[in-house]
Structure 1
């Protein structure tokens, strides 16, 4: 049976990820067809890591003059699905050493999403044997079994990466957990297993679990962030065009955590796009100011159609793929505020 939240996953992926640039980049990547299990002591198995240069280090050109990097905290980023081929060329689980898939991951989500977190800390983003997008849409019992196994394999990789990080790289620093889409599917489990009512909870600055619903009652001790400076809490939202909520989300039997990324509260008030400091869309080096508004509506976040050149061709009601990109600069500002609050405790 499909969980109700699965409908939110759009079959659309970042246009950049389908274009020539990542395919050109793939030629520079090492192919490791013989590797079946990641070894997180090897930098090859990290999409982002402070000990190597990677797209998570990137800064949009208009922001570079005032960009100051702080390494006071660590960011553990779990990327969304980039294995989207519905023909399942590798089955339900992606290989860990495929150069094209790794380049696609790096020059889509790592560049456009993980980079939003690089100003406040060291960014760690593991490669993992992610489940194919079709795992969210099983058609029969056989597919369901394969999907469950694929998600379990993916989580075990994420868990292994985080365990390696804790043992060898953490060194007692405060931690931000950040994730989108499939990353949030695994991020919720990671937060539950390692932080919720655990000693490590004291190290949690905040968890940005975006693109997949997080129930308010899902955790024992960790609660929703309700103010911009609150720490040790969860930020989450799913973005849709104003007036549209998918029927399956309307049927959800739980109250989801929904954060307004312009006010950073859970109040159901309209936040005008003038509060939006800027988004980063298909052109990484271009900031689009006042691109989107935000209003919490039930279990989702609504915005009128985003304002950017060419939006006449942007006809979808589902803004899942842009959950982070529409609010990129506001996320950066909020990260600085929460880290500052945490360090003052």
Structure 2
């Protein structure tokens, strides 16, 4: 008859072995069926509900904007993070001597998806969690444009995150509904900005999607396109063959070019962009043709050039957030970047420690802008200057 402690130990070992096998099985399932499980968790299983149109004068209300002129010290897009001298691998760059001579320009920034619920296709404007997340995103992303004379960031009834994980008709209707709000906000923005002021369109993820729609549906073929100094639909894959010709602007080939489009999608190495590329390949281009295996626009934010490559020394400042994303600091020389010629993604080397929001496959989608915060801050000013030099009058 076995001793009691041996029986207890044997049972313990059985339990440990079972848990190890279970853990391996769970990891295997997650690895093999990550896309399917993600869709189950985030794609709504409810009917699409048509939204009432906003009032014609809705965006006259300052409360409909996260950022706009007049917000003062409470404007999240006007935040300026400090450099970490201790963590930076190179000396922090000094403020440019001509900072006082920054040209006037106005930015229309569209924040990324902050609504993650699966019980509705579009976020209500009074959804507290998504609005708080959006405000943090504006602070961490739109602030890279804080040298602008005006920054406008509208609130809108965004499509839920799951709308980007399915080809169900409801997903398209949710994005159409969100875009209707954006277009209305953009019209108010244009009416409010002086006619001689160049404009910059910028957005990330869902915000980048709406930037693309503004270019194709609202600006292309109109005099307004002449005022676009640069467009940044960051985090949205743009096919050079099936999408770019429809935008009305070329890709930014050099850092001195204006009137162009700059976009990228960041992955640490080893990169596993399977889901990203699958969604890209399965989605038709703007021209209706298949995007399968067509090259993706990759403008390197460290060089400002198409398909460029640069080591970490070219990185003027990565914005590293604190735990709750409410604050952060800039670290110079932290991350390199090179456009992968085979996939069109932007590779950033070894995974940097930026927080808990790295997506599967070493996808740094959430950090596309913070990774290159200071470079983007200078890039937009350089392109506005180039736009002005091309129009001396």
Q: TM-score range by the shorter chain?
A: 0.7 to 0.9
- Aligned residues of 2:321 and 2:354 also touching (Cα < 8 A): no
Q: Residue 56 of structure 1 corresponds to which residue in structure 2?
A: 77
CA deviation after TM superposition for structure 1 residue 245, in Å? 4.2
Q: Residue 261 of structure 1 corresponds to which residue in structure 2?
A: 301
Distance in 2 separating the partners of 1:292 and 1:328: 11
How well do the aligned residues superpose, as a CA RMSD in angstroms?
Answer: 2.8
CA deviation after TM superposition for structure 1 residue 50, in Å? 1.2
Q: Which residue of 224, 227, 248 maps to 1:203?
A: 227
CA deviation after TM superposition for structure 1 residue 321, in Å? 0.6
Q: Residue 288 of structure 2 corresponds to which residue in structure 1?
A: none
Q: Residue 125 of structure 2 corresponds to which residue in structure 1?
A: 96
- 1:191-233 CA distances to partner (integer Å, 9 max, x unpaired)? 1123323211110110011001112242343110010010000
- 1:17-59 CA distances to partner (integer Å, 9 max, x unpaired)? xxxxxxxxxxxxxxxxxx9736101011111111213111111
- 1:150-195 CA distances to partner (integer Å, 9 max, x unpaired)? 1010000000000111123343310000010000111100011233
Gaps of 5+ in 2: 1-34, 40-51, 84-91, 282-291
Query: Taking structure 1 as reference, are residues 309 and 127 closer, same or farther at Cα in structure 2, changes over 3 Å only?
Result: closer
Q: Residue 364 of structure 2 corresponds to which residue in structure 1?
A: 319
Larger Cα-atom Rg: 2
TM-score with structure 1 setting the length: 0.80
Give SS of 2:124's match.
coil
CA deviation after TM superposition for structure 1 residue 235, in Å? 0.1
Give SS of 1:40's match.
helix
Q: Which residue of 309, 315, 327 maps to 1:276?
A: 315
CA deviation after TM superposition for structure 1 residue 292, in Å? 1.2
Q: Which residue of 156, 161, 175 maps to 1:133?
A: 161
Does 1:117 find its partner at 2:145? Answer: yes
Does 1:81 find its partner at 2:113? Answer: yes
More helix by share: 2
- Aligned residues of 2:204 and 2:236 also touching (Cα < 8 A): yes
- Aligned residues of 2:106 and 2:193 also touching (Cα < 8 A): no
Give SS of 1:152's match.
helix
Distance in 1 separating the partners of 2:319 and 2:298: 22
CA deviation after TM superposition for structure 1 residue 109, in Å? 1.0
- Aligned residues of 1:210 and 1:236 also touching (Cα < 8 A): yes
TM-score with structure 2 setting the length: 0.71
Count of residue correspondences: 304
Distance in 1 separating the partners of 2:373 and 2:306: 19
Give SS of 1:162's match.
helix
Give SS of 1:281's match.
strand
Gaps of 5+ in 1: 1-6, 12-34
Query: Taking structure 1 as reference, are residues 150 and 322 closer, same or farther at Cα in structure 2, changes over 3 Å only?
Result: same
Q: Residue 299 of structure 1 corresponds to which residue in structure 2?
A: 344
